Every structure is written in C-alpha cells, then in structure tokens.
Amino acid sequence: MISFEGVTKIYPDGRTAVAGLSFEVQRGEFFVLIGPSGCGKTTVLKMINRLIETSGGRIAIDGRPIGDYKLNELRWNIGYVLQQIALFPHMSIAENVAVVPELMKTPHEETDKRVERLLRMVGLEPDVYRDKNPAELSGGQQQRVGVVRALAADPDILLMDEPFSALDPVTREKLQNDLLDLQRDIHKTIVFVTHDMREALKLGDRICLMNEGEIVQIGTPAEIVHRPANDFVREFLGDAGAGGGRSGLPELTAEDLAELLQPDSRLMNDGAVTIAGSTAVSELLRHFAAEERLLVRRGDDVIGLLDRERTLKRLAREFEEGGEA
Ligand code: ADP
Ligand code: MG
C-alpha cells in the first residue's frame, strides 16, 4: 500500500508542482493519475521511488516512510516504465531485462524462468526475441520489453509514466489489453500516468484527476463518468465518458452487476480469472468469450463471482429496457 499525506513539492526555482496531496493506493490496485500537462503527475511518480525528494508531507509504503528504506531496496521493489524506454543497444533483449535481477544476485535460473514467462505474457515468444537486439524491434515491441524489464525483479509496485503515449492508436490499444491481461495474473500495485481519459477509464480500478498540483477528484471510472465532481472533470472527460453509449452497451461495471455476485471460495483457490470491479461491460464480454465465470475484485479482495449465462441474461434485459440501469 502506498500512502501520501499532505505531500508537497516545491522546485528550487520556487515553483509549487504538488500542493498537499493526500491519497492511498491499495495493494494490487491499478491506480491511474491523470490531468493536463504540467499538473504534477510525473513529479508524483518520481517522488514515490525517490528520483525526486519531497518538500513536505509523508509518503509511506506498507506503513513505512520511504526515507526509511535503503534506496536500492526501495528502487528494486518498484518497477518503472517511461514513455520512451531506453534499452541498452549493444545488449540482447534477455540481457536488457535481466539487468536488475543480476544486480540483486537473483539465481539465473529463477530470472530466466520469470523473464520467459513475462515475455510470453506480453506476446513476445522468448525463442524468437530473447537474443535479438533492441534495434530489431518495433516501437510497440520495445515498450513491451520495457514492461518486462520493469517486472523482471518481481517488484511489488509498478510505476508507469505515459508508457503508451508515443505509440500509434492500434499498437496502443493492443498494449493496453495486454497490460490488463498481465495485471490479472500478477496483481501488482500499479500507478499509471496518462493524459488520455479513454485510457484512464479503460485501465483504472480508480482514477485520480489532478490540476495544478492538486487532486480534483478520485473515484472509480463509473464514479468519474456518472458523478463528475465539477465542470473541470466534465470538461476533462469530454466525450471519453460516453464510451459505453457510443458502443450501444449499457454503462455498467462488474460491480454494478452485484446482484449476481456470490463469492465462492473453491473458485478463488482454483486460479480462476479475476477482474476489477470497475471493469466495463464491453470488457466483460471480451472475458466471457473465454471464461465461464469471473471473480470480481476490489483492491486485493475478491468480492464475488459473475456467471456468464446469468450476466448475459441480465444484460439482455438491460437492452430491452433501453439501457436504463
Ligand atoms: P506532468 O507530468 O503532469 O506534465 P510535471 O510533474 O512534469 O507535470 O511538472 C509539474 C510542474 O513542475 C510543471 O509546472 C513543471 O514545469 C514543473 N517542473 C517539473 N520539473 C521541474 C524541475 N526540475 N524544476 C522546476 N520545475 C519543474
Ligand atoms: Mg509528465
């Protein structure tokens, strides 16, 4: 768990980039920071791994102030993905992703296994890509390697600063989907920065909208869309919030279908697929193409179960009633 308590950042030139931020990111949560350029998103991210020191307030990880951790210990536990990841050009993909595990003296076998699994999970067949050089990969493939590299040391926390912003829309969409799939498996605590509301609504368990170094609203995608706190939120939403309407699907999330939820401890121990409570209907349908049942998660807790047949029946009813939930 990451907690901010009254955190400020005043740069040496006197500019207040972050003004008294307080919020918590739960373990296993996909937390999205969004806001206009210059609102302080990158500053917030870099304060978490101490690339930037705070000017005031307190940041803690699992209840312990970040200043109490050894810097290496802190950084190794926090993966970091940037918009333009810089792979070492003279090293193979495998060598690039194993840099931190090497520093940590993780046994090679363990690293190899984890890296293979991660490469596969982001759609890069290890046998094909392991020995390639970064220059042989497309931009999208390089970003995938960046994600694998950030996860290679098996950190608890993953910080991502506009990781897909430089990619074309099709590649970007693919990487978003792969990241969601990956997160279903690995359950990291993710703080993801973007300035794209569509991306935020699609990925986030919760979204934190910032402006001029302050928090404007924190909420689930459904809360942000249906209960924007003020005109700034509404304006920032633009037509992104109309996503559900645009596709003709009811604007419901997995949690909204709560009447169907029945926790089932057998399934939980069975490695069943879990999805975030904020998952939109369009995403649900994608899952039900492959899964009979889905476990619904809030933060780290499983709060219930969605059954394909009953969910689809409920949605059919929704359509008949004109989509008015
Ligand atoms: P974002 O990532 O949301 O675009 P940043 O966190 O990069 O915003 O920047 C927040 C504010 O702090 C901006 O006004 C920016 O100009 C300023 N800023 C960022 N880095 C520095 C720095 N090293 N020195 C002075 N001001 C900075
Ligand atoms: Mg930034």
Place of tokens 């940037």: 82
Taking a C-beta distance cutoff of 8 angstroms, is the pair 20, 7 a contact? yes
- pLDDT tens, residue by residue, 212-240: 999 999 999 999 998 999 999 999 998 77
Asked whether residue 247 is domain-assigned, the answer is: no
Round the average pLDDT of the chain to a whole number and report it. 88
pLDDT, average across residues 121-142? 93
Asked whether residue 32 is domain-assigned, the answer is: yes
The verdict on 74 and 41 lying in the same domain is yes
The verdict on 235 and 269 lying in the same domain is no
Look at the chain and report how many structural domains it folds into: 2
> Does pLDDT of 249 surpass 70?
no
Q: Find the CATH number of the domain harbouring 292.
A: 3.90.1280
> Does pLDDT of 153 surpass 80?
yes
- pLDDT tens, residue by residue, 281-309: 878 888 888 888 888 887 777 778 888 88
- pLDDT tens, residue by residue, 162-184: 999 988 888 899 899 999 989 98
Q: What is the span of the domain harbouring residue 129?
A: 2-242
> Does pLDDT of 324 surpass 50?
no
Q: Which residues have CB under 8 Å from 208's CB, separation 6+?
A: 23, 31, 32, 33, 34, 215, 217, 218
The verdict on 18 and 115 lying in the same domain is yes
The verdict on 218 and 259 lying in the same domain is no
Q: Which atom of ligand 1 is nearest to the CA of 213?
A: 10
Q: Where are the beta strands (DSSP E) in 189-323?
A: 189-194, 206-211, 214-219, 274-276, 293-298, 301-307
Asked whether residue 294 is domain-assigned, the answer is: yes
> Does pLDDT of 88 surpass 70?
yes
- Among candidate residues 242, 264, 299, the one where a domain is terminated: 242
CA of 214 from ligand 1 middle (Å) equals: 13
Task: From 17, 230, 196, 75, select the one nearest 8 (Cα to Cα).
Answer: 17
Q: Is 101 in the pocket of ligand 1 (CB under 6 A)?
A: no
pLDDT, average across residues 266-272? 70
The verdict on 275 and 167 lying in the same domain is no
Question: What is the Cα 33 distance to its own chain's centre?
Answer: 10
Q: Got the DSSP string for 121-132? A: HTT--HHHHTT-
Position 321 scores a pLDDT of 62
Asked whether residue 185 is domain-assigned, the answer is: yes
Q: Which residues have CB less than 5 Å away from ligand 2 (the ion)?
A: 42
CA of 233 from ligand 1 middle (Å) equals: 21
Residue scoring higher pLDDT (290 or 91) = 91
The verdict on 270 and 167 lying in the same domain is no
Residue 85 CB: number of other CB atoms within 10 A? 20
- Whose C-alpha lies nearest to ligand 1, atom 27? 11
- As to burial, measured by CB atoms within 10 angstroms (0-12 exposed, 13-18 middle, 19+ buried), residue 138 is exposed
The verdict on 139 and 258 lying in the same domain is no
- Whose C-alpha lies nearest to ligand 1, atom 6? 40
CA of 163 from ligand 2 middle (Å) equals: 11
The verdict on 236 and 290 lying in the same domain is no
Residue 300 CB: number of other CB atoms within 10 A? 12
- Among candidate residues 242, 276, 307, the one where a domain is terminated: 242
The verdict on 61 and 98 lying in the same domain is yes
The verdict on 61 and 133 lying in the same domain is yes
The DSSP code for 260 is G
> Does pLDDT of 16 surpass 50?
yes
The verdict on 8 and 131 lying in the same domain is yes
> Does pLDDT of 245 surpass 80?
no
Query: Which region holds residue 235: left if phi is over 0, alpha if psi is between -120 and 50, else beta?
Result: alpha
d(CA 48, CA 82): 14
